[in-house]
Amino acid sequence: MAACTTSKSADDNPFFQEWKTTYGVPPFELIRDEHYMPAFKKGMAEHLAEIEKIADNSEMSTFVNTIEAMEKSGKLLERVASVFFNLVSANTNDTKQALRREVSPLLSGHRDDITLNAKLFQRMKTLYDKRESLDLTGEQQRLLVDNYRDFVRGGANLNDADKAKLREINEHLSLLTVKFSDNVLNEDNRFELLLEEKDLTGLPDGVKTAAAEAAKTKGNEGKWLFTLHKPSLIPFIQYSDRRDLREKLYKGYINRGDNNNEFDNKKILNDITNLRVRKASLLGYKTHAAFVLEKTMAKTPQNVYNLLDKIWPAALKKAKEERAMMQKMIDADGGDFKLASWDWWYYAEKIRQKKYQLDEDEIRPYLKIDNVINGAFILANKLYGLTFEEDKIIPRYHPEVKTYVVKNEQGQMIGIYLSDWFYRSSKRGGAWMNEFRAQSNIGGERILPIITNVGNFTKPTADTPSLLSLDEAATLFHEFGHALHGLLSDCTYPSISGTNVPRDFVEFPSQVMENWVLEPEMLKLYAFHYKTGEVMPQALIDKIKAAGKFNQGFATMEYMAAAYLDMAWHTLIVEKEWDVTTFENGVFEKIGLIPEIVSRYRSPYFRHIVGGYSAGYYSYLWSEVLDADTFEAFRENGIFDRQTGQAFHDNIIARGGTKEAMQMYIDFRGHEPEITPLLKRRGFQ
């Protein structure tokens, strides 16, 4: 009977069947949690069999029978992994979380089985050593070199004893990084600030309505609920007159993973850091940062520090000026206290209202999320000729997901786009882009990308639609920029298509998109009052522009402090049990971070550096140098100039990782990026 059950389960597993859904989008409604592990195991087994066949090929090694064959392998594993890891981030549950903990070490071992396959590496090395004499396209040359270097960096040249050590390190790291992320999610969802009406002084009506709805969904009708998720946290610390409650909520946020409870991350972070030190040494690198940065535009830790150190003094000076303004306001209001970190957002808003006559709550009615999304679509049309047509037949993994067919200027379909913008407790925090299927065109087989954007914006209520802040509107444009990078990809091989580019280059196309959010010409195309339909008035646009450089000291310092912290953890050269708080304080004291500003991420909840951005959080600033210089080209020719957009498409956004990132930039701009536009944008020059 048990055997029959297993067989039926295998027969019913959607991952083992051809997907006859619209455009090959995963049949989410058929996929159950019990389908994942059998599919992962079968996918890994099939992949290894394909790899062994490539490695054991008796024919002379060629690009087609080795490198291209590797690109074509592992399709079942790729299929199940793309669905599972997208959903474990965007629509998770306890079962998926447990599955991730179970499958992560298996996948780590699977990757090592491939990278440490001596016969496969020898075939690759044979091609690499004679690469200059092979008749390869530029993209093929790039793929060959990337594969060879990835194998070397994955331990292919180690002796057997060291290979065994590397496997053990990788397995431990895979388990620890999952546990770290799970703990942050649990901390996010654990903290609740449940208030009475008397506690709401200073809060705008829209904020109160959203909090009332949140309380009602938790069975606390008649109360108001605030959480650590940004759409709830930020408006509260921005507007609440209750300093004691601002402190309580803010400290709840900055102490995530640092509460000495079952979700504490300090020991886990130490273990991760020490394992990375050990791994870097094993592979012949001085530090983990040196290992990571070898594949980036920055190349070395010193180049990262050179960039940070160039901008930090100006940011620090500006932040001190902002602090003085706030303390002056506190004193003038008779406040007998010194500005603290939980006060900064509140007094920044007060100064914005007083000095610039600009109230954030005055802006939100013009930034209804549907209009902002449409604005992003309008911009994609003006720059690249794209159209987004909603198609409700396409499968969705959650009712809130919207699905679109994306077409180019000639009406040809180029991809599928899924958007999932509203907060729910089953999502990790933040906003991101990912893919369910990468673009490729091997042998003329045109595979269209399936791209998704996920966010955590406030849901609409019974009376009010979802209204975004300026920062949230910029976040939406930013993540949509990542989506365009995936949708507009025009490469042959999936492993170097789309956003498969150096880490400090991947944020560049997305950050460029943010430039349009506040441009008057752009605002008139999407910023309509949700009640009256009137376009945002020029007077309000002028006030927004006038206040644009205000609080940039704070914004730059809180981000850069996190970038310095990331580099500090990953330039360690010895294994040691660090006191995390002492370590952090030492980093911040060294750079002169003022106590009124807390690093955007403290170590115990710094998911970026535990995940894919270790020694890479500086990338946003590096990319902003590129994007600020790039937008100057659009200013010179008109911000909607189609020819400039086409040049950006042809040289940057369609090229994936097929060329050196700096060369792609020079091909587009005609010169290396200049830092002056960034300094001017932030008001530092």
Tens-place pLDDT, residues 258-309: 999 999 999 999 999 999 999 999 999 999 999 999 999 999 999 999 999 9
Same domain, 27 and 88: yes
The type of residue at 181 is S
Q: Residue 300 is part of a domain; what is its CATH number? A: 1.10.1370.10
Q: Is residue 177 part of a domain?
A: no
Average of per-residue pLDDT values in the chain: 95
Same domain, 99 and 197: no
- Here the tokens at position 459 are 């849901």
- For the chain, the domain total comes to 4
> What is the 3 state secondary structure string of 223-274?
CEEECCCHHHHHHHHHHCCCHHHHHHHHHHHHCCCCCCCCCCCHHHHHHHHH
Same domain, 248 and 275: no
Mean per-residue pLDDT, 517-522: 93
Percent of the chain residues topping a pLDDT of 70: 99
How much is the pLDDT for 10? 64
Beta bridge partners of 403: 418
Same domain, 650 and 505: yes
How much is the pLDDT for 11? 72
Q: Which residue has the higher pLDDT, 616 or 360?
A: 616
In this prediction, residue 4 has a pLDDT band, given cuts at 50, 70 and 90, of very low
Mean per-residue pLDDT, 332-342: 96
Catalytic residue among 139, 479, 514, 519: 479
| CA–CA gap between residue 447 and residue 370 (Å, rounded) | 30
Same domain, 92 and 135: yes
Q: Is residue 132 part of a domain?
A: yes
Look up residue 423 and give its DSSP letter: -
Task: For residue 564, give the nearest of 522, 618, 527, 605 by alpha carbon.
Answer: 618
How much is the pLDDT for 70? 98
How much is the pLDDT for 6? 40
Q: Is residue 630 part of a domain?
A: yes
How much is the pLDDT for 9? 53
pLDDT tens profile 583-596: 999 999 999 999 99
Task: For residue 374, give the nearest of 530, 548, 232 by alpha carbon.
Answer: 530
- Say which residues have a Cβ less than 8 Å from residue 216's Cβ, sequence separation at least 6: none
Q: Is residue 181 part of a domain?
A: no
Pseudo-torsion of CA 40, 45, 50, 54, nearest 10°?
Answer: 120
Same domain, 377 and 352: no
pLDDT tens profile 90-142: 999 999 999 999 999 999 999 999 999 999 999 999 999 999 999 999 999 99
Task: For residue 623, give the nearest of 563, 565, 570, 571 by alpha carbon.
Answer: 563
Task: For residue 502, give the nearest of 679, 674, 304 by alpha carbon.
Answer: 304
How much is the pLDDT for 3? 36
Q: Is residue 631 part of a domain?
A: yes
Q: Is residue 589 part of a domain?
A: yes
- Here the tokens at position 458 are 């406030």
Angle at 582 between CA 576 and CA 588, to 5 degrees: 115
Residue-range definition of the domain harbouring residue 64 = 2-157
Same domain, 641 and 585: no
Same domain, 638 and 676: yes
Same domain, 324 and 241: no
Which residue, 617, 632, 662, sits at the end of a domain? 617
Same domain, 19 and 41: yes
Task: For residue 25, give the nearest of 413, 455, 415, 500 by alpha carbon.
Answer: 415
Which residue, 223, 254, 285, sits at the end of a domain? 254
| CA–CA gap between residue 60 and residue 452 (Å, rounded) | 41
Task: For residue 617, give the nearest of 362, 405, 301 by alpha carbon.
Answer: 301
- Here the tokens at position 341 are 């970190």
Is the pLDDT assigned to residue 320 strictly greater than 50?
yes
Same domain, 647 and 532: yes
Is the pLDDT assigned to residue 58 strictly greater than 90?
yes
Is the pLDDT assigned to residue 5 strictly greater than 80?
no
Classified as helix, coil or strand, 534 is coil
In this prediction, residue 360 has a pLDDT band, given cuts at 50, 70 and 90, of confident
Q: Is residue 474 part of a domain?
A: yes
How much is the pLDDT for 657? 97
In this prediction, residue 361 has a pLDDT band, given cuts at 50, 70 and 90, of confident
- Here the tokens at position 562 are 């996190």
pLDDT tens profile 481-494: 999 999 999 999 99
Which residue, 107, 131, 157, sits at the end of a domain? 157
| CA–CA gap between residue 624 and residue 675 (Å, rounded) | 9
Q: Is residue 163 part of a domain?
A: no
Residue 433's H or E segment, with its range, is: strand 432-437
Q: Where are the alpha helices (DSSP H) in 606-675?
A: 607-610, 619-637, 642-648, 661-669
472 is catalytic: no
Q: Residue 643 is part of a domain; what is its CATH number? A: 1.10.1370.40
Count Cβ atoms below 10 Å from residue 183 Cβ, excluding itself. 21
Same domain, 384 and 503: yes
| CA–CA gap between residue 645 and residue 66 (Å, rounded) | 37
CA 6 distance to own-chain centroid: 38
